[in-house]
């Protein structure tokens, strides 16, 4: 059976005590994971080592929220993807819209970061998505194509593994998720764009959706054929909600024949 992913982005939240409490609450509600749905938690940088020891042996995987586009060197304040790998991360979120907005990250930097992450042995979760204004002006596909093409200028489709996260900026943290129909349309567009470069890579490339996913809308979003999981922000900070979303994804994937 095909694999699916549920990624929790804890953003700049947490403390030593609250991370342990949240993880315990997730584990109490979901003691065993589905072999088909990977659960990935992305805590803030200072807590990666703490979380690595807490998730050991649980099957829960670890990701970071960002990484440098360099593996090593005189880059004060940066974090190498190689260091993240050494600490136990398997994934890293690249190009999240909050980094594009607040840190001025651009498409080219996102591509270089994705490549550095891959070279360090991490799976980059590459975020793409349009603003409300771009959608209103019917520029969604132009924007998605530009962001995707920039990343795929660096990715070697022959052997690299990546996850694409479609995160419309207007849906992030707003409580207004994209409709399942919009999500399916954009995921299919992203897949077809990558298929122009490499059809077999595109067919197996996971595309997850992020933007106000909650227990109440998860099942309908996950039921779309080109949705391979979710990237969860606010609801990932609540064990009950996060586990309900995880279980909804497990149910969907078990009902599919693939």
- For the annotated catalytic residues, the residue numbers are 96, 167
Q: Which helix (H) or strand (E) holds 64?
A: strand 61-64
Least spacing, CB of residue 15 vs ligand PEP, in Å: 19
Binding mask 208-237 for ligand PEP (x = CB under 6 A): --xxxx-----------------xxxxx--
**Pick from 8, 70, 60: which is nearest to 30 by CA?**
60
Tell me the residue number closest to ligand PEP, measured at CB: 233
214-222: long-range contacts (C-beta < 8 A, 24 or more apart)? 214/177, 214/241, 214/245, 215/241, 215/244, 215/245, 215/248, 217/177, 218/244, 218/245, 218/248, 218/249, 219/248, 219/251, 219/252, 220/180, 221/177, 221/178, 221/180, 221/183, 222/248, 222/249, 222/252, 222/253
Q: x-or-dash pattern for ligand PEP, window 161-200, by CB under 6 A?
A: ------x----xx---------------------------
Residue 167 to residue 229: CA distance in whole angstroms: 12
CB of 62 to ligand PEP, least distance (A): 17
Of 55 and 171, nearer to ligand PEP (C-beta) is: 171
Binding-residue pattern over the window 7 to 36 for ligand PEP, x denoting contact by CB under 6 A: --x---------------------------
C-beta of 110 vs 235, nearer to ligand PEP: 235
SS3 content of the chain, % helix, strand, coil (to 5): 50, 15, 40
11 appears as a binding residue in the annotation: yes
Between 172 and 227, whose beta carbon lies closer to ligand PEP?
172
Residue 15 among known ligand-binding residues: no
**Distance separating alpha carbons of residues 116 and 253, to the nearest angstrom:** 31
212 is in an annotated binding site: yes
Q: Is 170 annotated as a binding residue?
A: no
User: Count of alpha carbons within 13 Å of 176, Cβ hemisphere only?
Assistant: 7
Indicate left, alpha or beta for 239 from its phi (over 0: left) and psi (-120 to 50: alpha). Answer: alpha
Give min distance, CB of 230 to ligand PEP, in A: 8
Restricting to residues 113-172, which ones interact with ligand PEP according to CB under 6 A? 167, 172
The least distance separating ligand PEP from the CB of residue 82, rounded to whole angstroms, comes to: 24
Contact 55, 91 (CB under 8 A): no
Q: Tell whether residue 238 is among the known ligand binding residues.
A: no
CB nearer to ligand PEP: pick between 9 and 61? 9
Is residue 66 involved in binding ligand PEP (CB under 6 A)? no
Nearest to 37 by CA among 230, 210, 221: 230
- In the complex, least distance from residue 57 CB atom to ligand PEP, rounded to whole angstroms: 27
Binding-site residues: 9-11, 173, 212
Which residues bind to ligand PEP, rule: CB under 6 A?
A: 9, 167, 172-173, 210-213, 231-235
Binding-site residues for substrate: 9-11, 173, 212
């Amino acid at each position: 059976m095909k694999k699916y992913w549920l990624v929790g982005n804890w953003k700049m939240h947490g403390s030593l005590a609250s991370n342990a409490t949240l993880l315990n609450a997730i584990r109490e509600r979901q003691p065993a994971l589905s072999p088909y749905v990977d659960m990935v938690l992305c805590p803030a940088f200072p807590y990666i080592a703490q979380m690595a020891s807490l998730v050991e042996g649980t099957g829960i995987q670890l990701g970071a929220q960002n990484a440098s586009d360099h593996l090593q060197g005189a880059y004060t304040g940066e974090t190498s993807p190689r260091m993240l790998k050494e600490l136990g991360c398997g994934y890293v979120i690249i190009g999240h819209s909050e980094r594009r907005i607040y840190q001025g990250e651009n498409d080219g930097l996102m591509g270089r970061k994705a490549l550095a992450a891959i070279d360090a042995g991490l799976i980059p979760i590459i975020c793409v998505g349009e603003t409300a204004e771009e959608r209103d002006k019917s520029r969604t596909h132009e924007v998605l194509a530009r962001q995707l093409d920039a990343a795929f200028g660096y990715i070697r489709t022959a052997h690299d593994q990546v996850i694409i996260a479609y995160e419309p900026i207007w849906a992030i943290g707003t409580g207004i998720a994209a409709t399942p129909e919009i999500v399916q349309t954009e995921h299919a567009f992203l897949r077809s764009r990558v298929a122009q470069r490499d059809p077999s890579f595109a067919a197996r490339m996971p595309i997850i959706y992020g933007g106000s996913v909650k227990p109440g809308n998860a099942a309908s979003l996950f039921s779309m054929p080109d949705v391979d999981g979710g990237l969860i922000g606010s609801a990932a900070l609540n064990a009950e909600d996060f586990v309900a979303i995880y279980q909804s994804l497990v149910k969907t994937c078990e009902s599919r024949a693939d």
